Each structure stands twice: as structure tokens, then as C-alpha cells.
């Protein structure tokens, strides 16, 4: 076929032509994949072909190697690896050749494709000559070849893990890259490509950062590069500094003074894109130091692996004024723009992080700025002063802050109502929210909200909730934290006298015409939820009244007909909010017997509404309705059975919702709730549920995070229906056994994967636990005997791996007990032979974790009985 023409036609504006071309390309690919890829790479490499066909050829090549979806990606990797090696060699040769192309688009597409192939082949120890041949390019004279090569190295570092590149090659890559950044390199494209490559290669430079001379060299070049005349290069150089701050914090001490000078200059005078990165450097240092200091507090021995250099504390006298200056550079309507991010916002955020890192020390440095600006004519000054105050409310001690807040509170309340600037009011409301979030609590020392000012504060906030949407949203947020502070207040809450009025005002907000702007409606419902959560018995009758109100809202919302797609989306969002609110109310009222009893009168109607929610096809709405139903089942108990005939179809449908895997995950949890509520009354539905659970477990298309709860859910079912589980036993045990074998070992996996495997193990073990406990004292226990040896073997192998977390340990030792308990003398000799019944059990018995200890004591008891009989 004529590939060039097909590639050009595939970009035609004429839909018919385009479709036809796409179809013929697809056929080509299906009929002869190697040929297809070879001709695409030929197209890309060929200097006399049109740019557009070359670019698309490269793009299709790239998409043939990688995909966002993990499963698809795995398929593509396998497909490439099993391809004819001659074809692969040809494709790779064309790609490397394209790196020298004079056409920028062709070159840069090729760099990405080379990196994708490297990402597949290097971990397999294939294409060993790649890095060598790229490095030899560096010494070529034409700048464009150098640029493309550096770009390729950069992408390559992004694609492959640093373990697969040996140190010698890493050294050579870094040498080439840093040389390319050097000011002696006069070509800006080369410098930019080199700087970007360094950004990706930093993760490879562990050893080099430990070598004083090499680190000195890298740092000097990076710092010099921040002063390049080219803005993009400066920005990228600062990105490198940010990344270095996160990765090599402990190595920074000798450079911190220089970096301060560089960043200060950039913040004060450079383009915004550069200044933002300069601020981000300090924010990152704050992140690092907060993490380290948190470790200190958590660690009882007082020493930690990573020392804290207190860079922020030392830089404080210079850093704080620098950040305060940025606060005055606000954009007019930044509060109305969701995507806004500017120097004032970055500076303010950094100031907040600095306060968290240093605590009290920041207060005297910021107070004069606040005092000087808070009453100025220019709104920018008032806003900056207010923002500065809000920023430092987390970190310094209450002792230091409470007097200041008490002093400022009347002023802030007045500004919230009277200041002419929306921007100032927005920030004022946010600052009030921060005061309540960090300093108002029924348990901490002197209260900032007391009998004397509570009335005024609430009145002002309720009034402010009638202001423009962005201000009203912040007022709702402030009220949220005001309510939260009275969590655990005891029997009587200071909010009680205002409860009715607050709820009424929040409902009024949700009905505002402009409630969908600035997230206002969401904020109002979130605040309503928090007010309900933190309410006391005194207001239980009012919460009960709220049930009917929210039900009516949900009913009205579901009634709406003939909506535009935009309206439909808003309707779905509202449905989710209302279901969320009902969930909170169900939990609140269900937690005490008298209110639960009254509330349950509404159960039929509420369930009817939830069922109608499933008619709308919105993931969030489904998820919220499911969560609420789980809470309802827990509150109702066995009587929930009456809803299952109608509800079951939706339960099953959402168990199959792989695309919105969160919905699937939540539904699996709800199956567990229903099992515990219904016990053996769930039996008639178990065929369907078990089929679906097992199907989900064997599917590659379901998001992996759902798998551990799926296993646990099998245990929930077994525990609920007892030995009726016998009919599923073969299938379930088979699935569990395969999974157990697969996840017995974690060697070769990274930390994240090991954590995930531990979650899976816990699920598998919970399933075993439920099955054994379910069969206990039944006449069918003998059916479990054949599985005992495998399960004990699984316990032994995960014990020997020594990579269990505490949760798995607890569940695992519990399974040992359950097995002994249910099988008794039938398993006595198997148990005695197992390592778990000796070393593992002893280790658990002496564990510091009381949950593990408890399970172990249980296991010991069960085993001693099994053996003694």
C-alpha cells in the first residue's frame, strides 16, 4: 500500500477520506505487524517525505509500544518483545538515523519512540549498544544531532528504572548531559535539551551526588544555568533545583546560601514561570524538613536516619520578607479562576509551609507586615496582610497565636461583612476558617470562641453565606471548622442554640441560583454534613427533621426531566451530594438506639430513593448511594433483607462496573455490610454474588486496588452463610490457592508493590478465616481437610519471606487458629509439622502489637485444644 498517502489522508479534514485511510492502516497493521512497523519507521526516517506523514508515522509507532491502560500496555510490551528480531533491528536503525534528521518534528518524534523501545528492551538486557551509540552522537558537530541525542537520553531516563543502567553508563550519560548544560555550550537548543535531560537523569545520580567533586560540578553547572539568558533554560534549571531539593536534601548544606541568593533574585525580578519554580524550591525544602521533623517526634529513640539541617529556620529572616513581597502581586480575579496559579498564590502557600516548619519563630517576622497593611486603602495590601495572617495559623503554638487571634477576630468579622473588595472578603473568610481549624476546639486550653462572641461569629458567617459565591463558599468552610471544633464536646454543644438557623441557612445556600459556581453547593452540603456529625443528643430531633427535608430534595432532584447535558451533570452531582448527606445522617442517627428507632420509620422511603439513584449513570452518584446503603444496612440489621429483591440487580450491576472501579470497590464493601446485617438470609443471592466476585478476581481489566477487598468479601459471605458455603467451596478455594501461590513471594518488587501484595495476602487470609469460622461446628468440616496442608504451607512461606506487615501478621496467625479450631484433631499432625505453629506463633506471641498478640493467643489456645483431643 501507499503508506505516505494513507498517513496524509488519515489527517484529512474530510471525514470519509480520513476514515478510509484509518481503515486501511488498521488492516495493514493486522495483516502484517512487522511490515507495518518497518514501513512506518522507514517513513519517519525518510528525509524526502512530507513532515506530516513522518510525524504521524512516529506517533503510530509510539502508540504501538505504550498505552495509558496498564493491561493494554502489558500486551503491547509482550507484542514488541515477541516480534521478529530482524524487523525490530530495522525499526531501531531507522529511528537512530532519524535523530540526525534536519526536520525538527521528525527528530523529536524519534527521540520519544527510541525511549519507549529502550523502556521495553533495556530491562530485558536487550539493545545493549543503545546508550553507547547515543553517547557517540554527542561528539558529533551538528548541534541539532546533539540536541536530539540529549533529548533522547532525557526521555530514556524517564522511561527506564535506574537499576537497569549500570553505573559506568550512568556516569557517561551524566557527563554528556552536564557538559551540554555548560555555559561553554553556545547553542540554546542544546543547552535546553541537556538541562531537561538532567532533570530526568537526577534519579540516576545517587552515586555521583555522594562524590564531593562530581556533586560540586553538577551543582555549579545547575546554578550557573539558572542565569542563562534564555527563560526556558532558566526555568528548567530551577526545576532541577527543586528536584534536587527533594532527592538530595542531605547534600544541600554547602549550596544553600548560594541557592537562596539565586532564588531571591528570580522571585524578585524574573519572569513568573521562573519565579514560581524558585518559590517551589523553598516549598520543597519545607516539605522535606516537615517530614524529617515529624519522624523525630514519632521516633521514640530521638534519632532518625535523615538529619535536619534547619535550612528554613536559618533562612527565615531573609525568606519571610521575600515571600511577603510576593503576596502583594495578586491577580484581579484569581479567586474566580479554578486553574489560577501565580506568584502571590505560590508565595502565600510557601509562607504557610514555612510557618508549619518553623513554628513560633515566624510570628514576629510577619506581624509588622500585617499591622502595616491590614487597614490600607489599596485592597492588595489588605488582602496580602490577611493572607499572611491566615498562612501562619498552622505551625506556631496556640500560646503564641491565641492572643493574636483574639485581638484580630473582631476586625476580621467586621471586614468579612464590610470590606468593599471581594478578594479581601474571600481571604478573610478563609482566614477565619483557618483560625477555627487550628485553634478552636472543645479540648484545647483557652477557647477563641466563647459565650461572648459565638453569637456574633455565627451571625456574620451566616450573613456572609449570602455574599458572592466564592466568598460564601469560604464562609461555609469556616463554619465547617467551627462545627468540627465541637466534635466530642460532650453532652451539650454551644452550637445547639444556633443549630436550626445554621441548617436553614445552609439549605438556603444550596438553593441559590448561582450555587454551582465556585463549588458553593458542595461546600454547603459538606458543612451541613459536619454540623450533623458533630451534633449532640440535644439536637437529635432536629437532625431527624432533616431526614425528611433531604429526602424531599433528593426526590425533587430525581424528578427533573428533559435536561441538557450540562444540567444533567449538575443533577448527578447534586444527587451525589444528597446521598452523601443522607449517609452522614444515617450514621449519626443509627449510632444511638432511641434515634435509630425513630429514624428507621423512613427506611422504606429512603431505600426507594436510593434505588431510583441507580437509574442515573453517574459514578459519583452510584458510589455515594452505595455507601449510604451500606450504612443503612448496618443500622437496620437483618430486616434489611426485605430490600434485597429490588436492590439486588443494582448491586450486581455495580459489581460489574470495572470502568468506574471506585464504584465497584465501594459495592464490594457494601456486600460485606449486607452479609453481616443479614447473615444466612443472604443465601438466596449468594449464587449471583459469588459468581460475580470470582469473575472479578479472574479479570485482568479490573483495577487492581479492588482485588484485596474482593477476597475479604468471600470471607464475609462464608461467615454469614456458614456451611452453606460448601457449594462454592471448590471454586473459592481454587481461586484462593492460585492467588496464594502467586503472592507468597515479593522478591524483586518495589515497596509499593510489596505493600499491595500484603493487601492481597490480607484479603486472601480473611477469606480463609471466614470460611473456617463459617464451617465451625458443622457436619461438613471434613470438606475443608484437603485444603489444610496448602494453607499451612502458604502461612509458612509468607512467614519465611519476612516481609509481612502487621496487619497480615495478625490475620495470618488468626487463620492458623481458625484452622485448628475448625478442623481440630483432623489437622493436628499437619499443624504440628508446620513452621507457623512454632516459630511464627512464638514470634507473634511476643509481638509488641496487641492485635497480633491477641490473635496469637487465640491461635495458641485453639492449637492446644486441637492437639490435646
Partner 1 sequence: MAPHDLRRPFKRPLISDQERRRQHSLLRQAQNRLDAQRHARFLVSTAFSLSSSQTLESHEKEELDVLEASKLKGAEARKWFAKQLMHPEWMIDIPQNLTNDWFVFARPSGKRCFVVSSNGTTISRLRNGSILHRFPSKLPNGARTKEVSSGSSNSYSILDCIFHEQDQTYYVIDMVCWRGYSLYDCTSEFRFFWVNSKLVETGACDPPSYYHKYRFGLVPVYSCDQSGLCSAYSVPVSYVKDGLLFYNKHAHYQAGITPLALVWKDENCSQYVMDTDNKGQVPNQQQVVLELQEDGKLATCDDPPMEFGCLDGSFIQQSDLHSGYLLRFAIGEGGLVLVDGKLGKADLKYLGKANRARASADSFSKVMFQYSVRHSPLIIDDLLGSVSSPADQESETCDVEMDG
Which listed range, 177-185, 405-413, 751-759, 859-867, lies at the site for partner 1 (CB under 8 A)?
859-867
Min dist CB 682 to partner 1, Å, is 13
Q: Is the dihedral of CA 813, 817, 819, 824 positive or negative?
A: positive
Min dist CB 490 to partner 1, Å, is 6
Task: Restricting to residues 686-725, name those near partner 1 by CB under 8 A.
Answer: 712, 715-716, 719
Task: Restricting to residues 377-396, name those near partner 1 by CB under 8 A.
Answer: none
Which listed range, 364-372, 407-415, 423-431, 551-559, lies at the site for partner 1 (CB under 8 A)?
423-431
Could you give the angle at which helices 751-775 and 785-801 cross, rounded to 10 degrees?
Answer: 150
Min dist CB 627 to partner 1, Å, is 5
- φ/ψ region of 404 (left if φ > 0, alpha if ψ in -120 to 50, else beta) reads alpha
Contact between 740 and 789 under an 8 Å Cβ cutoff? The reply is: no
Q: For residues 4 and 816, what is the distance between their CA atoms, to the nearest angstrom?
A: 66
For partner 1, the closer of residues 119 and 814 by Cβ is 814
Which listed range, 11-19, 222-230, 501-509, 847-855, lies at the site for partner 1 (CB under 8 A)?
847-855
The single residue among 318, 444, 563, 753 that binds partner 1, judged by CB under 8 A, is 444
For partner 1, the closer of residues 25 and 524 by Cβ is 524
Which listed range, 364-372, 374-382, 578-586, 793-801, lies at the site for partner 1 (CB under 8 A)?
578-586
Min dist CB 43 to partner 1, Å, is 25
Q: How far apart are the first and last CA of the chain?
A: 80
The single residue among 467, 530, 553, 723 that binds partner 1, judged by CB under 8 A, is 530
- The cell numbers describing 199, all together, are 532533570
For partner 1, the closer of residues 40 and 866 by Cβ is 866
Q: For residues 182 and 179, what is the distance between their CA atoms, to the nearest angstrom?
A: 5
Min dist CB 31 to partner 1, Å, is 35
- φ/ψ region of 330 (left if φ > 0, alpha if ψ in -120 to 50, else beta) reads beta
The single residue among 818, 831, 840, 841 that binds partner 1, judged by CB under 8 A, is 818
Q: Give kind and range of the element (H or E) at residue 263.
A: helix 256-269
Q: Is the dihedral of CA 499, 505, 508, 512 positive or negative?
A: negative
Q: For residues 780 and 783, what is the distance between their CA atoms, to the nearest angstrom?
A: 6
The single residue among 214, 230, 680, 854 that binds partner 1, judged by CB under 8 A, is 854
> What angle (nearest 5°) sits at the alpha carbon of residue 839, between those of residues 833 and 842?
120
Q: Is the dihedral of CA 356, 362, 368, 369 positive or negative?
A: negative
Q: What is the DSSP string of 21-40?
A: HHHHHHHHHHH-HHHHHHHH
- Mark 293-322 with x for binding to partner 1 (rule: CB under 8 A) and - for no binding: ---xxxxx-x--------------------
For partner 1, the closer of residues 94 and 201 by Cβ is 201
Which listed range, 376-384, 451-459, 621-629, 828-836, lies at the site for partner 1 (CB under 8 A)?
621-629
For partner 1, the closer of residues 46 and 422 by Cβ is 422
Min dist CB 446 to partner 1, Å, is 8
Task: Restricting to residues 628-687, name those near partner 1 by CB under 8 A.
Answer: 630-631, 634, 666, 669, 672-673, 676
Task: Restricting to residues 233-252, name those near partner 1 by CB under 8 A.
Answer: 239, 242-243
Secondary structure percentages of the chain, helix, strand, coil, to 5: 80, 0, 20
Min dist CB 670 to partner 1, Å, is 9
Which listed range, 15-23, 304-312, 579-587, 698-706, lies at the site for partner 1 (CB under 8 A)?
579-587
Which listed range, 13-21, 210-218, 376-384, 861-869, lies at the site for partner 1 (CB under 8 A)?
861-869
Helices within 419-519 (DSSP H only): 422-439, 454-464, 469-484, 499-510
Residue 743, phi then psi, degrees to nearest 5: -105, 15
Task: Restricting to residues 556-575, name those near partner 1 by CB under 8 A.
Answer: none
Q: For residues 333 and 317, what is the distance between their CA atoms, to the nearest angstrom?
A: 31
Which listed range, 5-13, 95-103, 831-839, 860-868, lies at the site for partner 1 (CB under 8 A)?
860-868
Task: Restricting to residues 462-501, name those near partner 1 by CB under 8 A.
Answer: 474, 477, 488, 490-491
Task: Restricting to residues 55-114, name those near partner 1 by CB under 8 A.
Answer: none
For partner 1, the closer of residues 40 and 240 by Cβ is 240
For partner 1, the closer of residues 774 and 836 by Cβ is 774
For partner 1, the closer of residues 733 and 820 by Cβ is 820
Min dist CB 449 to partner 1, Å, is 16
> What angle (nearest 5°) sits at the alpha carbon of residue 273, between those of residues 272 and 275?
60
Min dist CB 669 to partner 1, Å, is 5
Q: What is the dihedral of CA 497, 499, 502, 504, to 10 degrees?
A: -120
Task: Work out whether 158 is an interface residue with partner 1 (CB under 8 A).
Answer: yes
Q: For residues 232 and 217, what is the distance between their CA atoms, to the nearest angstrom?
A: 22
Which listed range, 193-201, 369-377, 694-702, 831-839, lies at the site for partner 1 (CB under 8 A)?
193-201
Min dist CB 559 to partner 1, Å, is 24
Min dist CB 130 to partner 1, Å, is 18
* Range 465-485 burial, b when 16+ CB lie within 10 A, else e: bebbbbbbbbbbbbbbbbbbb
How many angstroms separate the Cα of 277 from the Cα of each of 45, 231, 262, 283, 573? 37, 12, 11, 10, 35
- Mark 253-292 with x for binding to partner 1 (rule: CB under 8 A) and - for no binding: -----------------------xx--x--x---------
| Cα 124 to the center of its chain, rounded Å | 30
Min dist CB 423 to partner 1, Å, is 12
**DSSP count for the chain of H helices, then E strands:** 42, 0
Which listed range, 138-146, 151-159, 448-456, 497-505, lies at the site for partner 1 (CB under 8 A)?
151-159
For partner 1, the closer of residues 314 and 342 by Cβ is 342
Closest alpha carbon to 681 in 641, 636, 715, 648: 641
Task: Restricting to residues 587-606, name those near partner 1 by CB under 8 A.
Answer: 587, 591-592
Task: Restricting to residues 321-350, name those near partner 1 by CB under 8 A.
Answer: 341, 345-346, 348-349
Task: Restricting to residues 743-782, name those near partner 1 by CB under 8 A.
Answer: 766, 769-770, 773-774, 776-777
Q: How many residues bind partner 1 (CB under 8 A)?
A: 85
Contact between 423 and 378 under an 8 Å Cβ cutoff? The reply is: no
For partner 1, the closer of residues 295 and 803 by Cβ is 295
Contact between 104 and 47 under an 8 Å Cβ cutoff? The reply is: no
In which residue are the cell numbers 468579612 written? 416
For partner 1, the closer of residues 349 and 724 by Cβ is 349
Closest alpha carbon to 585 in 567, 563, 562, 610: 610
CA atoms within 13 A on the CB side of 626: 27
- The cell numbers describing 332, all together, are 484581579
Closest alpha carbon to 44 in 156, 148, 190: 148
For partner 1, the closer of residues 32 and 397 by Cβ is 397
Residue 628 makes CB contacts below 8 A (sequence gap 6+) with 579, 580, 582, 583, 586, 610
- The cell numbers describing 524, all together, are 454547603
Q: Give kind and range of the element (H or E) at residue 367.
A: helix 363-373
What single-letter DSSP state applies at residue 840? Answer: I
Min dist CB 438 to partner 1, Å, is 12
Min dist CB 304 to partner 1, Å, is 11
Residue 603, phi then psi, degrees to nearest 5: -55, -45
Which listed range, 75-83, 506-514, 690-698, 855-863, lies at the site for partner 1 (CB under 8 A)?
855-863
Amino acid at each position: 500500500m501507499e503508506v505516505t498517502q494513507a498517513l496524509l489522508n488519515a489527517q484529512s479534514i474530510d471525514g470519509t477520506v480520513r476514515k478510509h485511510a484509518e481503515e486501511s492502516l488498521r488492516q495493514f497493521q493486522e495483516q502484517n505487524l512487522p511490515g507495518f512497523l518497518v514501513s512506518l519507521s522507514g517513513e519517519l526516517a525518510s528525509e524526502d517525505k512530507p513532515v506530516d506523514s513522518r510525524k504521524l508515522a512516529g506517533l503510530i509507532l509510539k502508540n504501538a509500544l505504550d498505552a495509558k491502560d496498564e493491561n493494554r500496555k502489558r500486551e503491547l510490551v509482550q507484542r514488541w518483545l515477541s516480534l521478529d528480531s530482524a524487523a525490530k533491528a530495522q525499526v531501531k536503525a531507522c529511528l537512530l538515523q532519524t535523530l540526525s534528521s534536519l526536520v525538527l518534528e521528525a527528530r523529536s518524534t524519534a527521540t520519544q519512540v527510541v525511549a519507549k523501545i529502550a523502556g521495553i528492551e533495556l530491562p530485558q538486557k536487550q539493545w545493549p549498544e543503545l546508550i553507547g551509540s547515543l553517547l557517540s552522537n554527542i561528539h558529533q558537530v551538528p548541534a541539532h544531532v546533539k540536541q536530539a541525542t540529549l533529548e533522547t537520553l532525557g526521555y530514556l531516563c524517564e522511561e527506564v528504572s535506574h537499576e537497569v543502567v549500570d553505573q559506568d553508563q550512568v556516569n557517561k550519560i551524566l557527563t554528556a548531559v552536564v557538559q551540554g548544560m555548560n555555559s561553554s555550550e553556545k547553542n540554546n537548543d542544546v543547552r535546553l535539551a541537556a538541562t531537561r535531560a538532567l532533570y530526568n537523569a537526577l534519579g540516576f545520580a545517587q552515586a555521583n551526588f555522594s562524590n564531593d567533586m562530581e556533586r560540586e560540578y553538577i551543582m555549579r553547572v545547575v546554578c550557573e544555568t539558572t542565569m542563562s539568558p534564555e527563560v526556558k533554560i532558566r526555568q528548567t534549571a530551577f526545576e532541577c533545583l527543586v528536584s534536587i531539593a527533594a532527592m538530595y536534601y542531605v547534600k544541600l548544606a554547602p549550596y544553600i546560601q548560594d541557592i537562596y541568593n539565586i532564588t531571591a533574585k528570580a522571585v524578585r525580578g524574573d519572569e513568573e514561570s521562573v519565579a514560581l519554580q524558585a518559590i517551589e524550591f523553598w516549598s520543597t525544602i519545607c516539605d522535606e524538613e516537615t517530614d524529617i521533623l515529624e519522624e523525630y517526634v514519632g521516633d521514640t529513640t530521638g534519632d532518625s536516619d535523615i538529619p535536619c539541617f534547619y535550612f528554613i529556620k536559618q533562612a527565615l529572616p531573609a525568606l519571610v520578607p521575600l515571600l511577603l513581597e510576593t503576596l502583594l502581586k495578586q491577580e484581579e480575579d484569581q479567586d474566580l479562576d479554578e486553574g489560577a496559579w501565580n506568584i502571590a498564590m505560590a508565595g502565600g502557600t510557601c509562607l504557610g509551609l514555612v510557618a508549619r516548619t518553623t513554628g513560633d519563630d515566624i510570628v514576629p517576622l510577619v506581624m509588622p507586615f500585617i499591622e502595616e497593611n491590614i487597614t490600607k486603602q489599596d485592597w492588595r495590601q489588605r488582602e496580602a496582610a490577611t493572607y499572611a495572617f491566615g498562612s501562619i495559623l498552622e505551625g506556631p503554638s496556640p500560646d503564641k497565636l491565641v492572643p493574636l487571634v483574639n485581638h484580630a477576630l473582631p476586625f476580621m468579622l467586621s471586614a468579612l461583612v464590610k470590606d468593599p473588595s471581594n478578594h479581601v472578603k474571600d481571604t478573610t473568610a478563609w482566614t477565619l476558617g483557618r483560625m477555627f481549624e487550628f485553634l478552636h476546639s472543645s479540648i484545647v486550653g483557652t477557647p477563641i470562641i466563647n459565650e461572648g462572641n459565638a453569637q456574633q461569629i455565627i451571625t456574620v458567617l451566616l450573613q456572609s453565606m449570602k455574599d458572592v459565591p466564592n466568598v460564601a463558599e469560604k464562609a461555609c468552610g469556616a463554619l465547617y471548622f467551627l462545627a468540627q471544633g465541637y466534635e466530642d464536646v460532650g453532652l451539650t454543644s454551644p452550637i445547639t442554640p444556633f443549630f436550626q438557623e445554621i441548617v436553614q441557612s445552609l439549605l438556603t445556600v444550596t438553593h441559590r441560583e448561582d450555587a454551582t459556581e465556585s463549588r458553593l453547593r458542595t461546600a454547603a452540603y459538606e458543612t451541613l454534613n459536619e454540623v450533623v456529625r458533630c451534633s449532640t443528643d440535644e439536637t437529635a430531633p432536629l437532625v431527624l427533621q432533616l431526614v425528611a427535608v433531604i429526602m424531599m430534595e433528593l426526590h425533587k432532584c430525581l424528578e427533573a426531566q428533559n435536561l441538557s447535558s450540562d444540567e444533567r451533570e449538575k443533577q448527578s452531582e447534586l444527587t451525589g451530594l444528597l446521598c452523601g448527606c443522607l449517609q452522614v445522617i444515617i450514621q449519626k442517627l443509627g449510632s444511638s438506639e432511641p434515634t435509630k428507632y425513630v429514624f428507621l420509620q423512613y427506611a422504606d422511603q429512603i431505600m426507594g430513593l436510593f434505588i431510583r439513584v441507580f437509574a442515573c449513570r453517574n459514578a459519583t452518584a452510584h458510589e455515594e448511594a452505595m455507601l449510604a446503603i451500606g450504612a443503612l444496612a448496618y443500622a437496620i440489621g437483618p430486616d434489611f433483607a426485605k430490600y434485597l429483591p429490588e436492590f439486588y440487580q443494582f448491586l450486581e450491576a455495580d459489581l460489574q462496573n470495572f470502568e468506574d472501579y471506585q464504584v465497584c470497590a465501594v459495592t464490594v464493601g457494601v456486600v460485606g455490610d449486607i452479609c453481616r446485617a443479614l447473615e444466612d438470609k443472604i443465601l438466596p443471592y449468594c449464587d449471583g454474588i459469588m459468581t460475580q466476585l470470582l469473575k472479578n478476581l479472574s479479570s485482568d481489566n479490573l483495577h487492581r486496588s479492588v482485588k484485596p477487598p474482593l477476597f475479604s468479601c468471600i470471607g464475609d459471605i462464608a461467615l454469614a452463610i456458614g456451611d452453606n458455603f460448601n457449594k462454592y467451596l471448590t471454586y473459592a478455594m481454587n481461586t484462593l490457592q492460585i492467588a496464594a501461590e502467586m503472592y507468597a513471594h515479593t522478591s524483586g518488587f518495589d515497596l509499593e508493590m510489596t505493600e499491595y501484595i500484603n493487601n492481597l495476602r490480607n484479603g486472601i487470609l480473611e477469606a480463609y478465616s471466614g470460611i473456617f469460622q463459617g464451617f465451625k461446628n458443622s457436619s461438613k468440616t471434613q470438606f475443608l481437610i484437603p485444603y489444610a496442608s496448602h494453607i499451612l504451607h502458604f502461612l509458612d512461606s509468607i512467614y519465611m519471606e519476612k516481609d509481612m506487615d502487621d496487619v497480615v501478621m495478625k490475620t495470618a496467625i488468626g487463620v492458623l487458629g481458625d484452622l485448628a479450631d475448625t478442623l481440630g484433631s483432623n489437622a493436628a499432625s499437619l499443624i504440628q509439622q508446620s513452621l507457623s505453629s512454632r516459630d511464627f506463633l512464638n514470634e507473634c506471641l511476643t509481638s509488641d502489637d496487641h492485635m497480633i498478640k491477641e490473635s496469637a493467643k487465640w491461635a495458641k489456645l485453639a492449637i492446644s485444644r486441637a492437639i490435646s483431643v
